[in-house]
């Protein structure tokens, strides 16, 4: 090694000085300017009057959600609703009015009675602006190709549930899965802490042979529980509270929530061995429920409040194609859609649709408040509905078997939900049984309730 | 010249690393300006305020974010306020969105801008119990836009109701979740109560 000369030492010292100054300058400028503030996209929210009663006046209400103003005031939004009587034909423009109150949505349009009371219902979409003139959004995103559709409830079967009697829950016919918390085979992953709350396996599904598949996203796997024991298949998921659906051929779908690094929800599809098939961002920003429709996975999304297909004709849909396929109800293999609308504190409206025609409908009223509808699916000539009923400190699930005469059978299921799961993933209907995902302080379970048993 | 270049390279990397360490303290970008006292507070302005905090991350005990639609430090250790990362936590987001005072006996309206670093005096459990002059408990079945559901560990603001009976909730729930709008069923969950802010003007 050669001894450094004076020129080398001087050059090195100069390099250090210039380098330090340069490094500080680079990072200082990053800190000083910070990331450039971005204007958040214009958002909007609206809940459609999906099923209307005869003579019921209809006001369409929208919340236009703008970037926050420096003066703290709400934006001066504007917009129009394009509406038509029935489900086809030309739309007519109605300008939205701006109200004094924003609790239900500040912007509104009252539908003319000839549209609101049309025997074929009505359909519409809105174009909303933030008031600055530059930003607009269409709701639902499918616009005139996939508008909001509303139908007359018609001669609905009326059901009065009265006051719910807590504590009269039905015991399950069988506990088909019982897994203590942990990461070993046969255990179920638990995430979180006492301070932040706990999340357990977030969803499940049931195969035609009765095998129960539990998405154990905490451990990055799906556990298959059958009479032969439990087998696990690893899947590449983020670990967030995801929904899950299993196709009869073994294909698995995992609907991921937004996360710290992926602000939009993503549907991931896996082969039976856990290898990834594809992943696709959803059209909307928020999802409520994943299901498998006649053509593949479908997702109930917000703000469109529609069921959007993610796959069709053998291809994975772009966001635009998803939006263009939006429908108001969940489609089933019998060719019908089931429409669900929770109204107020204690009312539920349901309808079975063939094409754009209501075939059967129900209006359920309850003195005890009704919560979310976990499941509404055809079962033979009946419709099985599972929904929460609650007070401020108690809750149960109410399971109803509906037919044209009203409630053919019903029972209550205790809500045992110590760990959080995906929002509408607590129940599955498979064969002639209803399955429920639950948890306690000690672990996860899946219970089976047979629907053919007379009691 | 070789020595100059070598030393320059080493120095700029080291200086950059030191700067990165300092920048990791996102709170260095935040300010402690006085809030703006307001006579109005509308639910849709609150929706806009909370909506703009989406994507900006989560920080336990935090209440400072910018509007670049990204969490500057998404992998901070959960439950550690000393990481000083970007974003509010659940109660910090509720406090700022609800324009509350740091004095729990004041019920006026105080507009805190995004980069104003303030969490407020309330935990999720405090909100659940309606603690503080601006807050009160409401029946869950009557809770509406920009009211909230709170448990002993979490609070989420109602962005809007939804067809299936759940709610779109804007919330800062955990480091991995960030701040975003999620579909939740807190309304019917016995561990959550309904809470609201007094003083909405529209």
pLDDT (tens digit per residue) in A253-269? 999 999 887 889 999 99
Question: If DSSP states are collapsed to H, E and C, what string results for chain A?
Answer: CCCCCHHHHHHHHHHHHHHHHHHHHHHHHHHHHCCCCCCCCCEEECCCCCEECCCCCCEEEEEEECCCCCCCCCCCCEEEEEEEECCCCCCEEEECEECCCCCCCCEEEECCHHHHCCCCCEEEEEEEECCCCCCEEEECCCHHHCCEEEEECCCCEEEEEECCCCCCCCCCCEEEEEEEECCCCCCECCEEECCCEEECCCEEEECCCCCEEEEEHHHCEEEEEECCEEEEEECCCCCCCCEEEECCCCCEEEEECCCCCCCCCEEEEECCCCCEEEEEECCCCEEEEEEEECCEEEEEEECCCEEEECEECCEECCHHHHHHCCECCEECCCCEEEEEEEECCCEEEEEEEECCEEEEEEEEEECCEEEEEEEEEEECCEEEEEEEEECCCCEEEEEEEEECCEEEEEEEEECCECCECCCCCCEEEECCEEEEEEECCCEEEEEEEECCCCC
Query: Tell me, what's the pLDDT at B13?
Result: 44
Q: What is residue A10's predicted lDDT score, i.e. its pLDDT?
A: 52
- Pick from B172, B61, B175: nearest CA to A260: B175
Cα–Cα distance measured from residue A223 to residue A187, given in angstroms and rounded to the nearest whole number: 9
Q: Which of A144-153, A202-211, B63-72 has the lowest mean pLDDT?
A: B63-72
- CATH class of the domain defined by B2-197: alpha beta
Indicate the residue of B16, B66, B181 with minimum beta-carbon distance to A27.
B16
Residues in chain A closer than 8 A to B151 (CB atoms): 197
Residue B84: what are its φ and ψ, rounded to 5°?
Answer: 50, 45
| Helix, strand, coil shares, percent, chain B, to 5 | 30, 25, 50
In angstroms, what separates the C-alpha of A339 from chain B's closest C-alpha? 10
pLDDT, tens digit (0-9, with 9 covering 90-100), for A376-434: 999 999 999 999 999 999 999 999 999 999 999 999 999 999 999 999 999 999 999 99
pLDDT at A5 over 90: no
Which of the residue ranges A187-196, A284-293, A402-411, B129-138 would you say has the lowest mean pLDDT? A187-196
Map out the domains of chain B as residue ranges.
2-197
Q: Do A15 and B7 touch (CB under 8 A)?
A: yes
CB A330 within 8 A of CB A338: yes
Q: What gap in Å lies between CA B22 and CA B37, rounded to an integer?
A: 33
For residue B174, list chain A residues with Cβ-Cβ distance below 8 A: 192, 196
Letter string b/e over residues B39-48, b meaning 16 or more CB atoms within 10 A of that residue's CB: ebbbbbbbbb
Q: What tens digit of pLDDT does each residue of B190-202 get?
A: 999 999 999 999 9
Backbone angles phi, psi at B30, to 5 degrees: -90, 165
Least CB–CB distance from B181: residue in A195, A286, A342: A286
**Domains, chain A, ordered by start:** 43-152 (2.60.40.10), 158-450 (2.120.10)
B139 touches chain A (CB under 8 A): yes
Candidates B109, B163, B178, B199, partner chain A, best to mutate (most A CBs within 10 A): B163
The pLDDT value recorded for residue B9 is: 52
Contacts of A100 in chain B (CB under 8 A): 202
Note whether B166 contacts A: Cβ–Cβ < 8 A: yes
Q: What is the pLDDT of residue A227?
A: 87
For all residues of chain B together, what is the average pLDDT?
89
Share of chain A above pLDDT 90, in %: 85
Nearest CA in chain B to A34: B29
Residue B140 has pLDDT above 70, yes or no: yes
| Mean pLDDT lowest among A83-87, B77-81, B113-117 | B77-81
DSSP SS3 for B43: helix
Please answer whether residues A151 and A52 qualify as being in contact, where contact means their C-beta atoms are separated by less than 8 angstroms: yes
Say if residue A312's pLDDT is above 50. yes
CB contact under 8 A, B74 and A50: no
Q: What mean pLDDT is predicted for residues A58-80?
A: 95
- In this predicted structure, the answer to whether residue B147 has a pLDDT above a threshold of 90 is yes
pLDDT above 50 (res A28): no
Of A50, A73, A395, the CB nearest to B188: A395
In chain B, the residue whose alpha carbon lies closest to the alpha carbon of A39 is B67
Percentage of chain B modeled with pLDDT above 90: 72
For residue B90, what is the nearest residue in chain A, using CA coordinates? A196
> Could you tell me the pTM of the whole model?
0.90
Task: State ipTM.
Answer: 0.90
Outline where DSSP puts E strands in B42-162: 63-64, 87-88, 109-111, 135-138, 148-150, 155-161
Q: Does A19 touch chain B (CB under 8 A)?
A: yes
d(CA A287, CA A423): 9
pLDDT tens, position by position, A320-361: 999 999 999 999 999 999 999 999 999 999 999 999 999 999
Question: CA of A311 to nearest chain B CA: how many angstroms apart?
Answer: 22
Average pLDDT of span A111-121? 96
Report the distance separating Cα A293 and Cα A285, nearest Å: 21
Residue B23 confidence class, pLDDT cut points 50, 70, 90: very low
Residue A117 reports pLDDT greater than 80: yes
Is B154 part of the contact surface with chain A (CB cutoff 8 Å)?
Answer: yes
**B176: which chain A residues are within 8 Å (Cβ-Cβ)?**
238-240, 259-260
B168 touches chain A (CB under 8 A): yes
Per-residue pLDDT at B4 exceeds 60:
no
């Amino acid at each position: 090694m050669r001894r450094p000369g004076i020129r080398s030492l001087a050059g090195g010292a100069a390099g250090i000085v210039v380098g330090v100054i340069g490094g500080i300058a680079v990072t200082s400028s990053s800190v000083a300017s910070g990331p450039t503030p971005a204007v958040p996209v214009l958002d909007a929210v609206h809940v459609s009057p999906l099923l209307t009663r005869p003579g019921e006046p209809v006001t369409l209400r929208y919340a236009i959600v703008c970037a926050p103003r420096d003066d703290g005031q709400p934006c001066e939004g504007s917009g129009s609703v394009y509406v038509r009587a029935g489900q086809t034909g030309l739309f007519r423009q109605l300008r939205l009015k701006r109200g004094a109150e924003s609790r239900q949505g500040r912007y509104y349009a009252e539908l003319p009675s000839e549209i609101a009371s049309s025997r074929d219902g009505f359909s519409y979409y809105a174009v909303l602006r933030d008031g600055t003139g530059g930003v607009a959004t269409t709701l639902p995103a499918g616009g005139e190709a996939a508008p909001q559709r509303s139908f007359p409830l018609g001669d609905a079967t009326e059901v009065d549930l009265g006051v719910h009697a807590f504590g009269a829950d039905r015991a399950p016919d069988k506990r088909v899965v019982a897994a203590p918390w942990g990461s070993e085979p046969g255990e179920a992953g638990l995430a979180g802490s006492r301070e932040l709350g706990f999340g357990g396996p977030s969803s499940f599904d049931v195969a035609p042979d009765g095998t129960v598949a539990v998405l154990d996203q905490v451990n990055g796997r799906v556990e298959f529980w059958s009479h032969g024991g439990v087998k696990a298949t690893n899947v590449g998921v983020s670990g967030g509270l995801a929904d899950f659906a299993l196709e009869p051929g073994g294909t698995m779908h995992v609907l991921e929530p937004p996360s710290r690094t992926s602000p939009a929800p993503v549907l991931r599809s896996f082969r039976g061995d856990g290898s990834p098939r594809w992943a696709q961002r959803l059209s909307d920003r928020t999802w409520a429920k994943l299901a498998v429709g006649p053509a593949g996975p479908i997702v109930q999304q917000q703000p469109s409040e529609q069921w959007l297909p993610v796959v069709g004709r053998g291809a994975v849909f772009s966001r635009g194609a998803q939006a263009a396929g939006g429908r108001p109800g969940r489609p089933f293999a019998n060719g019908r859609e089931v429409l669900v609308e929770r109204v107020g504190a204690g009312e539920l409206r349901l309808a079975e649709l063939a094409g754009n025609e209501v075939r059967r409908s129900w209006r359920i009223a309850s003195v005890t408040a009704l919560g979310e509808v976990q499941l509404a699916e055809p079962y033979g000539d009946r419709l099985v509905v599972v929904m929460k009923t609650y007070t401020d400190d108690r809750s149960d699930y109410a399971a109803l078997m509906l037919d044209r005469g009203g409630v053919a059978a019903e029972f209550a299921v205790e809500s045992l939900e110590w760990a959080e799961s995906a929002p509408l993933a607590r129940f599955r209907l498979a064969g002639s049984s209803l399955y429920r995902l639950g948890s306690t302080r000690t672990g996860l379970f899946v219970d089976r309730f047979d629907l053919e048993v007379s009691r | 010249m070789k020595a100059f270049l070598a030393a320059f390279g080493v120095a700029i990397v080291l200086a950059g690393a030191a700067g990165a360490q300092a920048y990791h303290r996102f709170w260095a970008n935040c300010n402690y300006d006085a809030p703006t006292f307001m006579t109005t507070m509308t639910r849709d302005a609150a929706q806009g305020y909370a909506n703009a905090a989406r994507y900006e991350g989560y920080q336990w005990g935090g209440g400072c974010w910018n509007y670049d639609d990204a969490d500057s430090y998404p992998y901070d250790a959960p439950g550690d306020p000393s990481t000083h990362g970007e974003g509010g936590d659940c109660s910090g987001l509720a406090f700022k969105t609800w324009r509350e005072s740091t004095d729990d006996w004041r019920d006026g309206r105080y507009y805190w801008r995004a980069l104003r670093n303030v969490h407020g005096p309330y935990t999720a459990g405090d909100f659940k119990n309606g603690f503080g002059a601006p807050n009160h408990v409401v029946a869950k079945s009557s809770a509406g836009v920009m009211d909230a559901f709170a448990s002993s560990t979490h609070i989420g603001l109602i962005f809007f109701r939804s067809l299936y009976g759940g709610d779109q909730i804007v919330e800062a729930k955990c480091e991995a979740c960030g701040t975003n709008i999620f579909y939740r069923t807190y309304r019917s969950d016995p561990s959550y109560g309904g809470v609201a802010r007094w003083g909405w003007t529209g």
